[in-house]
Amino acid sequence: MARPTRGMDEPPDSRVYYVISDLHIGGDEQLGEVEFREELLAFLERLETTDEDAELVINGDAFGLWEITTVEGMAKFDALVETYPQLFDQLRATGENIPITLVPGNHDHELATYDAYVDRFGDYNVRLVQEKQMTRPVGDRVIHFEHGHQQDPNNRIDDWGNPHATPLGYYYNTLVTSRAGQLSDRGRYNWLKDVQAVTPTERMPVWLLSKYFYREMNPLLRYALIPFLLLFNISAVLAVLVGLDLLSIWSAPVDVATTFLDQFGSAGTTVWTLLAVNVAVVGLLLLVGIPLYFIRRDVRKTVDRFGVFETPLTVDADVPYETAAREVFEERPETAVFCHGHTHRSGIQAVDGGLLVNSGTWLKRLHRRDGIIGVLPPVFYPSYQLSVVRIAAEEGDVAVTVDAVEKPSPGTEELTLTERLLTLGRKPNPELPDEAVVVEETGEIRRESID
C-alpha cells in the first residue's frame, strides 16, 4: 500500500538537501578555536559553485552561545563575526548560490529569542528559522528537521523563545564548559577545551582522571605508579593467597611461587620484593574497601529514598528519538525522514517505514579504551567523524547518504607515549552509516553500502 504524499496536484520536489549540525563554533577563550575550520570552509566553497538545486540545512548548535559568557544578547553575534570573519564571508558567498537555512539548537537557543538575529543572519544570506522544527519537501514526501534537544529533558526549552530559559544543560555549559575554555591553556597541555567532546556526561570524572594521570601528573610519579597499577590484579590474587597461607588453609601457591623465584637469584628477590609491596598495599586496600563498599551502598540507598538525583545527566541517545519519529510518521504519514542532531552520533535507522537520521557532529569524538590488565585509567582516543547528510529524491524514492569529510584524526599527536603504548592494536576505526532508501511504492527501507 502506497503511503500518502504531499498532494496529487503538487509536482515532486527535486531539491537536494545537505545537512550538518553540532558545529559548536564559539566560546570563551580556548573554546573559540575551530579545529575543522579549513574543512568547513572547503565544504561551503564547494556548495558555492554547485550546479545542483540544493539547500544547506544547519540543524542546530551551529554556534556555542551558551559558552560565550563575556557578552550578552546581540553582542554575541558581533563577537562571532569579529572572531570568524572568513566564515561569515563564505556563508554570504555560498548563500548567493544556494539557500542556507539555520535551525536553533539548545546551545544557540538565543537565536530564537531575538528577532534581530533574523536580519543580521540575513545580511550573510542565511535564513534563520526561529521555530523548534521545520519541514522540507523531497520528491512526493517530506523531511522533518529538528535539532533534537526537545527530546532531552535536561536540555528541553519549555518556554521556547524566552531568552531567560535555563534548562540543566545551560548551567552545565555556562559554568563548567565555558570555565574549561578559560582554564585550558594553563595546563601542561591544552587539553581541557576538549570537554565538549566528552559524552555521555557521566564520563567527565573518569576523563578528568585520565587526563590528569597521563597529561598533568609529574612524569616521575606517573612512571613510578605504572608498575604497581599494572600488577594490581595479580597482586589482588596474591593477597588472597597470602591470606590463605597465613591462616594455614592453603600454602601450596605461595610455596611454589617462592621456589620458582629463588631460581633467579637477586633478580627473583627483586621481583618478590616488588610483589610483596604490592600485595601489602593491595591487601590493605581490600580490607578497607570491603566496609567502604557497604557504606557506599547504604548511602546510595538513602539518597535514592530522598529522590535527590531523580533525573540522570545523560538521556538515552536512541529511544526518545525513535519515539518522536514514530509520532511524526503516524501524525504526518507523508513524512519520510526524521532528521536530528544533538547526540553527536551519526546514524541512519529504519523506524516504522521511515528513516531516523542523525547528522552527527563536527567536534572531536573521544573513544574510551580501557586497560586489559591492571587498574590504569582508561585512554580516551580522539578522532574526527565530520559528516554531511545528503537527502534527495532518486527515481521516485527518497535516498539518504552520509558523506565523510576527510580530516586526519589527531590520535598520535594528542596522546602521550604511555597512552599510545597502552592502546597498541586498539586504535578505534569509526565508520559512518551506509546509504538508506525509502521505497515510495511500498514504504519499505532498503539499505545499501556506500562504495
Give the relative orientation of helices 219-230 and 232-246 as an angle to the nearest 10 degrees: 50
**What pairing do the DSSP bridges indicate for beta strands 445-448 and 141-146?**
unpaired
Evaluate if residue 296 carries a pLDDT over 50: yes
Counts of helices then strands in the chain (DSSP H, E): 14, 15
Region of poorest pLDDT, from 153-157, 326-330, 424-428: 424-428
Over residues 50-65, the mean pLDDT reads 97
CA-to-CA dists, residue 242 to 246, 248, 267, 275, 374, angstroms: 6, 10, 21, 11, 19
Evaluate if residue 323 carries a pLDDT over 70: yes
Distance CA 346, CA 348 (A): 7
Evaluate if residue 278 carries a pLDDT over 80: no
Cis peptide before 200 (omega within 30 of 0): yes
CATH (residue range 16-175+313-448): 3.60.21.10
Evaluate if residue 440 carries a pLDDT over 80: no
List, in order, residues 6 or more apart from 163 with CB less than 8 Å away.
Answer: 73, 110, 113, 114
- The C-alpha angle 314, 61, 427, rounded to 5 degrees, equals 60
State residue 297's pLDDT score.
Answer: 75
**Residue with more model confidence, 311 or 177:** 177
H helix or E strand, kind and range, residue 280? helix 265-306
Evaluate if residue 310 carries a pLDDT over 60: no
Q: Phi and psi (nearest 5°) for 335?
A: -75, 130
- Amino acid symbol at 79: A
Residue 360's pLDDT band (boundaries 50, 70, 90)? Answer: very high
| pLDDT, tens digit, 9 for 90 and up, residues 163-219 | 999 998 999 899 989 998 998 888 888 889 999 999 888 888 899 999 999 999 888
Region of poorest pLDDT, from 29-43, 78-92, 309-323, 385-399: 309-323
Over residues 335-362, the mean pLDDT reads 93
Residue ranges per domain, the chain? Answer: 16-175+313-448, 231-309
| pLDDT, tens digit, 9 for 90 and up, residues 100-146 | 999 999 999 999 999 999 999 999 999 999 999 999 999 989 999 99
**Residue with more model confidence, 72 or 437:** 72
- With contact defined as beta carbons under 8 Å apart, do 91 and 72 qualify? no
Residue 62's pLDDT band (boundaries 50, 70, 90)? Answer: very high
* Rg (the chain; Cα; Å): 27
State residue 123's pLDDT score.
Answer: 97
Cβ-defined contacts of 429-432 (< 8 Å, 24+): 430/365, 430/367, 430/383, 430/385, 432/346, 432/360, 432/385, 432/387, 432/402, 432/404
- The three cell numbers locating residue 68: 560565550
State residue 1's pLDDT score.
Answer: 37
Distance CA 360, CA 389 (A): 9
Give the relative orientation of helices 265-306 and 219-230 as an angle to the nearest 10 degrees: 90
State residue 417's pLDDT score.
Answer: 86
Residue 336's pLDDT band (boundaries 50, 70, 90)? Answer: very high
Report the chain's mean pLDDT, rounded to a whole number. Answer: 85
**Residue with more model confidence, 330 or 306:** 330
List, in order, residues 6 or more apart from 39 with CB less than 8 Å away.
Answer: 362, 386, 405, 406, 407
